[in-house]
């Protein structure tokens, strides 16, 4: 399905965003590659910068039982998705590669093996020189807490952004950020009132250049621009992006000119991927074979 934009409505709704990122393209298109798209819920994509493999979360139609899978393009099609090579027990989600491809951040309940979201912690795993993965490492307190942590995403300036419903926030779930000052030593702080409210904020995705971010919160997707004194008050994206409030798991292209995210489309497909080409018609996500995806 193609979502058609009305230029006048787009400019009125997204004017603050246009000012921060240039004039956006006027359409959002589904990305439903054969072998990856299924009747279950696919979300939270991540592309391996070194191999081109696509990692993503697959869950039930009701968005439970999260598992990280990956698929390889053999030149003609995406392979049958398999569990991530660093997979563990419990539920796992939200994979994100550093730009050099040497590290992945994700969330997992492997410490307890439970399926309860309260037990989700942030983990990271490093890639060896031979291409294989080291043993995943749970980030220490105060990054992780006795509550849930979500969607770890590293900004270019070294701050690791994530969501959590820990105590000390401005509302229910808040966006927090952490910086490793020395191996094993972390500073953690609330991301502030420009992003957080008395409600729920779940996922913050800084752009590749660190100048703006996309925020998933009550009411859908928002954007915020980095100013001289930090993040500026957030602006909600319009109904062309926030179609039904189920949008989740965004990923920027390496250039920052496109955004891939998931949306619950209902029966029969459940969660599906959509790509928004913010600036022009960038050839992204990567294709596999003769057809897109």
Mean pLDDT estimate for the chain: 89
Contact present, 167 and 220 (Cβ < 8 Å):
no
Q: Is the pLDDT of residue 272 over 80?
A: yes
Q: Is the pLDDT of residue 267 over 90?
A: no
pLDDT in tens, 52-91: 999 999 998 888 899 999 999 998 999 999 999 999 999 9
Q: Which residues contact 109 (CB under 8 A, 6 or more apart)?
A: 89, 90, 91, 92, 115, 116, 117, 119, 120, 121
All structural domains of the chain, each given as residue ranges with its CATH number in brackets, are: 3-277 (2.120.10)
pTM of the model: 0.89
pLDDT in tens, 23-33: 444 478 999 99
Q: Is the pLDDT of residue 45 over 90?
A: yes
| Of residues 186, 187, 190, 185, the one with CA closest to residue 166 | 190
Say how far apart CA 47 and CA 222 lie, in whole Å. Answer: 23
In whole angstroms, how large is the CA radius of gyration of the chain?
Answer: 18
Q: Which DSSP string do the residues of 6-31 spell out, in sequence order? A: PHHHHHHHHHHHHHHH-PPPSEEEEE
Q: Could you give the angle at the alpha carbon of 20 between the alpha carbons of 215 and 56, nearest 5°?
A: 35
Contact present, 230 and 211 (Cβ < 8 Å):
no
Q: Give the pLDDT of residue 289.
A: 77
C-alpha dist (Å) from residue 260 to 89, 125, 126? 28, 23, 24
pLDDT in tens, 174-213: 999 999 999 889 999 999 999 999 999 999 999 999 999 9
Q: How confident is the model at residue 16 (pLDDT cuts 50, 70, 90)?
A: very low
Q: Give the pLDDT of residue 215.
A: 98
Q: Which of the listed ranges 7-16, 218-227, 262-271, 277-286 does the model predict with the highest average pLDDT?
A: 218-227
Q: How confident is the model at residue 291 (pLDDT cuts 50, 70, 90)?
A: low
Q: Give the pLDDT of residue 6.
A: 28
pLDDT in tens, 113-164: 888 888 899 999 999 999 999 999 999 999 999 999 999 999 999 999 999 9
pLDDT in tens, 208-252: 999 999 999 999 999 999 999 999 999 999 888 999 999 999 999
Q: Is the pLDDT of residue 11 over 90?
A: no
Q: Could you give the angle at the alpha carbon of 286 between the alpha carbons of 284 and 292, nearest 5°?
A: 90
Q: How confident is the model at residue 292 (pLDDT cuts 50, 70, 90)?
A: low
């Amino acid at each position: 399905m193609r979502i058609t934009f009305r230029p006048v409505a787009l400019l009125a709704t997204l004017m603050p965003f246009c000012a921060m990122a240039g004039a956006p393209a006027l359409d959002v298109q589904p990305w439903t590659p054969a072998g990856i798209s299924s009747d279950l819920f696919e979300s939270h994509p991540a592309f391996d910068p070194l191999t081109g493999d696509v990692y993503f979360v697959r869950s039930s139609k009701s968005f439970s039982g999260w598992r990280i899978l990956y698929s390889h393009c053999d030149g003609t099609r995406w392979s049958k998705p398999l569990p991530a090579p660093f997979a563990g027990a419990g539920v796992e989600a939200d994979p994100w590669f550093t730009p050099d491809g040497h590290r992945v951040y994700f969330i997992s309940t492997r410490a307890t093996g439970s399926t309860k979201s309260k037990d989700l912690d942030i983990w990271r795993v490093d890639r060896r020189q031979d291409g294989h993965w080291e043993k995943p490492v749970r980030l220490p307190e105060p990054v992780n807490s006795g509550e849930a942590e979500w969607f770890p995403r590293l900004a270019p300036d070294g701050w690791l952004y994530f969501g959590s419903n820990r105590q000390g926030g401005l509302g229910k779930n808040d966006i927090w950020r952490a910086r490793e000052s020395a191996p094993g030593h972390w500073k953690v702080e609330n991301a502030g009132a420009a992003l957080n409210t008395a409600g729920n904020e779940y996922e913050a995705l800084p752009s590749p250049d660190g100048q703006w971010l996309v925020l998933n919160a009550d009411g859908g997707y928002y954007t915020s621009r980095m100013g001289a004194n930090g993040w500026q008050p957030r602006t909600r994206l319009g109904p062309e992006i926030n179609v039904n409030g189920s949008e989740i798991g965004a990923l920027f292209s390496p250039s920052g000119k496109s955004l891939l995210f998931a949306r619950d489309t209902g029966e029969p497909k459940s969660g599906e991927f959509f790509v928004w080409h913010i600036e022009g018609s960038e050839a992204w996500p990567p294709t596999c074979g003769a057809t897109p995806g």
